[in-house]
Amino acid sequence: MNNGLAAVVLAAGKGTRMKSALPKVLHPICGKPMLAYPLDATRQAGIEQISVVIGHQADQVKDAFAGQDLVWVEQTEQLGTGHALMCAAESLEGFTGTLLLLCGDVPLLQADVLEQVLHYHKHEKATVTVLTAEMEEPTGYGRIVRTNEQVTQIVEEKDATKEQRSINEINTGTYLFDAKFVFSALKNLKTDNAQGEYYLTDVVAAAANAGHKVRGVVIPDSTQMMGINDRRQLAEAEAVMRWHINSELMAEGVSMIDPTTVYVDKGVEIGNDTTLHPNVQLRGKTKIGRNCIIETGVVVVDSTIADGAHLKAGSAIEESQIGPDCKIGPMAHLRPGTVLTGSNKIGNFVETKKAVLGEGSQSSHLTYIGDAEVGKNVNFGCGTITCNYDGANKHKTTIDDDVFIGSDVQFVAPVNIGRNSLIGAGSTITKDVPADSLAISRSEQKVIEGWALKKKPKKS
């Protein structure tokens, strides 16, 4: 332990109003669990020593953040914010620096605000600094009671007088404490209040009564302090965050025809001069290059799209790599493991899965290419499929460069097609085809002249 900076994030609540089997702090906002945002903001503000207080479905919360450098503290009974910090005290034994306390269900708080509050707290040499907000309708929030610059107490609404309820400066639940003071003050907390809980706000009053400097910093944008307690607030927070994401992307040179209908997850990268049409969804670890066009209804998940790609309406792309100048769709489905090297065309109602296509290869419509390795400049005719599954195992189809495949061809894998071959329309290919060959597999056509005249009923 040292005398620098540390943080405690409160994330033990059950979130009853969410009406969900999922812990509240794991509900996703723009592609990340809610708790990820206060953790990220804390790290970006320069605090690496982070304890997280968990309770409801603790193991599930831990699993969601496995591998991160966090200290997990379990609060088996939810007896208030003061009690939560008491539970974290052991994880911070010996720490005497500045302690940040914030809530895991406040995902919109930005790192620059935390940095400003940290700077102010240090400059003022305060024992306690409270992050506050001014609200026209403060119902439900604790009120900040001041004497000039000094915050004298924070009164929870259920314990507030009529006069105190008229105050519109509210407690956001984010604090900076002198660690030595706060851990000493926690020992004196009592539960003689309307909630029967240990109020952390009582520590503020104790500091003021002891003559310590207690300050409040009003955050200019109160939406950053929006707490999430139900699905409606979750949707509101996501709308705010989505607008911030889209605004930043547009400032960096991305065009959006209607940004209110574009859904981009936090962390998605998009190059400049790319245009996003309405109802596009870019999710997960997706990266989009420059000069791309992404049309209405396209969904891209955990995929890389290179410069100059054109994704046409209604296409879905998952865990795939799309090379430069490719044209996808409309209504194409690229499943995990698809790799397009570049200048490929995957047209309407084409599905790919674990398929690697060399440069210039194309399939314009109504084709399935699965478990396949395809060379350069290969043309798939309409209705072609790789029959990769025998009911028990998957098998691979290998097609070399410059192969032309006619319509309605079935490749029964495993099968290898040599370079510069031509596969006749309607063929079922069950054996390897050497290079420079013509492969045809179809039944002999028979024509019986006059047959229709004999079979059709005569008109009266």
For residue range 129-184, what is the model confidence (pLDDT) as tens digits?
999 999 988 888 899 999 999 999 999 888 899 999 999 999 999 999 999 999 99
Tally Cβ neighbours within 10 Å of residue 229.
Answer: 16
Residue-range domain boundaries for the chain: 5-225, 255-439
CATH for the stretch 5-225: 3.90.550.10
The tally of CA atoms less than 13 A away on the side-chain side of residue 418 is: 10
Binding site residue list: 10-13, 24, 75, 80-81, 105, 142, 156, 171, 229, 335, 353, 368, 379, 388-389, 407, 425, 442
Binding site residue list for Mg(2+): 105, 229
Q: What are the C-alpha distances in Å from 173 to residues 82, 106, 109, 141, 318?
A: 11, 9, 11, 10, 40
CA–CA gap between residue 368 and residue 385 (Å, rounded):
5
CA–CA gap between residue 195 and residue 180 (Å, rounded):
27
Q: What are the C-alpha distances in Å from 152 to residues 128, 145, 148, 160, 196?
A: 11, 6, 10, 14, 22
Active-site entry in 56, 212, 310, 365: 365
pLDDT mean over 180-208: 88
pLDDT tens digit sequence for 32-65: 999 999 999 999 999 999 999 999 899 999 999 9
Binding site residue list for acetyl-CoA: 388-389, 407, 425, 442
Residue 365 appears among annotated catalytic residues: yes
- So what CATH class is 255-439? mainly beta
Nearest to 400 by CA among 437, 451, 452: 437
pLDDT mean over 236-262: 97
Contact in structure between 392 and 374 (CB atoms under 8 Å)? no
Q: How confident is the model at residue 2 (pLDDT cuts 50, 70, 90)?
A: low
Residue with tokens 């079979």: 455
pLDDT mean over 70-96: 91
The pLDDT value recorded for residue 320 is 98
CA–CA gap between residue 394 and residue 298 (Å, rounded):
29
Contact in structure between 50 and 6 (CB atoms under 8 Å)? yes
Taking 80 as the threshold, does the pLDDT of residue 1 lie above it? no
Q: How confident is the model at residue 76 (pLDDT cuts 50, 70, 90)?
A: confident
Nearest to 84 by CA among 3, 173, 192: 173
Taking 80 as the threshold, does the pLDDT of residue 192 lie above it? no
Structure tokens at 213: 């400097």
Buried b / exposed e along 295-312 (16+ C-beta atoms within 10 A): bbbbbbbebbbbbbbbbb
Contact in structure between 431 and 412 (CB atoms under 8 Å)? no
Whether omega before 414 lies within 30 degrees of 0, making that bond cis, reads yes
Contact in structure between 133 and 183 (CB atoms under 8 Å)? no
pLDDT tens digit sequence for 406-455: 999 999 999 999 999 999 999 999 999 999 999 999 888 899 999 888 87
Q: Which residues contact 85 (CB under 8 A, 6 or more apart)?
A: 8, 53, 101, 182, 186, 200
